[in-house]
Amino acid sequence: MRVLFLTNEYPPHIYGGAGVHVEYLSRELARLIEVEVRSFHDQALQDGNLTVRGLKLDAGPFAGAPAEYASPLKALATCIGFQGQGIAADVVHCHTWYAQFGGILAKLLYGIPFALTVHSLEPLRPWKREQLGRGYDLSSWVERTALEMADAVIAVSASTRDDVLRLFDVPAERVPIIPNGIDIDEYRPIDAPDVLRARGIDPGRPYALFVGRMTRQKGLRYFLKAVEHIDPACQIVLCAGESDTAELQAEMEAMVRDLAARREGLVWLPGMQARADTIALYAHASVFCCPSIYEPFGIINLEAMACATPVVGSRVGGIAEVVVDGETGFLVDAGLSDQPPFDPVDGDAFAGRLAEAINRLIADPDLARRMGAAGRQRVEQVYSWRSIAQATVDLYGRLAAGRPAAA
């Protein structure tokens, strides 16, 4: 069995959960089958059954188009370039809309089964128009065409499967559920107070942690609103990376600066931290907060749980399937509107509920420890990459044999 992964992200070029998924799944699959990964970056790797090669296009051919069109146009051009490299695989497997055009072409040109994993859905991210302009119409068209043409649309959660069946013309038998996973040997409780001190965090005081990009989807603004109501004895640590737009970046940074001026113990770590350091930040946190307003799965919650840290998360999408309310943390109702852009109807109330749940854990360290231990046990039992890789190989076998994707 040979599979070809098409992806925008691959280490070290990772900026979101989809890239983390591709990294670990490809590595685990390579223990079982031959895996080739083609990425959008200048890279090459050969490691046993795993081959990685990138195709990085410059912006020259797109210089005459509006700036917001450069990303979607480069994505389509890169996918065309992948076809020119030739394809010798039993299945092509795409990750995010950036690479899905490549799967469409591979199925048409090379006649091989086409699978894709849904890491997010464009109709549920209307704020992407702020970043892409009419390029959002292009990304939405690519996604719809790919999902309705694919032989398998892998949903990472039951809620994502429901969204696929509701929003697209895809037969249910083509939509299996295979969740994200976690490397429980790498993500684990550790004692590394020096990592905290080096970043201005007091290891002797509790802290609430946020990890994610400064995007509307990740709900950072509501966490920042919640900070106003969180016990002042609790430090706030923000591992907050770049935003989708300069305007939103400036807005979020202004909120952080304003809070820091009024509240002692707020630590902002811009950009991505080294993985080992992020694990230390998870492991020492009293509580991890995931305030997303849209999250098909939320792999960051697995990362926190694997480090034995309780989670306070919004009750949306896959978060509600990963976090067990009252056992591994608390789920908080976001109160989302059913109309675009699907924001909370009352953002201040949502922020207040986040703060209340965080304060419960800060005030009761024994409860936090019990929930953290339960979270670690849950990821060990349910979210092993080994079992997820085997389920994926089984899917490839069904596709190669012409059978339905959903067993």
Spans of all domains in the chain? 2-181+384-400, 193-382
β-strand partners of 314: 332
Query: What is the distance of C-alpha 309 from the center of its chain?
Result: 19
State the pairing for strand pair 50-54/44-47.
antiparallel
According to the model, what pLDDT value does residue 213 have?
Answer: 84
- 253: amino acid identity, one letter: E
Report the C-alpha gap between 149 and 138 in whole angstroms. 16
Residue 87, helix vs strand vs coil: coil
Is the domain spanning 193-382 CATH 3.40.50.2000? The answer is yes
Is the confidence at residue 407, as pLDDT, over 70?
A: no
Provide the pLDDT confidence category of residue 379 given band limits of 50, 70 and 90.
very high
Which is higher by pLDDT, 332 or 338? 332
Residue 207, helix vs strand vs coil: strand
**2-181+384-400 CATH pick, 3.30.390.10, 2.130.10.10, 3.40.50.300, 3.40.50.2000:** 3.40.50.2000
Question: What is the dihedral angle through the alpha carbons of 94, 62, 138, 290, rounded to the nearest 10 degrees?
Answer: 60
Percent over 90 (pLDDT), the chain: 86
Is the confidence at residue 58, as pLDDT, over 70?
A: yes
Per-chain mean pLDDT for the chain: 95
Structure tokens belonging to residue 258 = 């304003």
pTM, 2 dp: 0.88
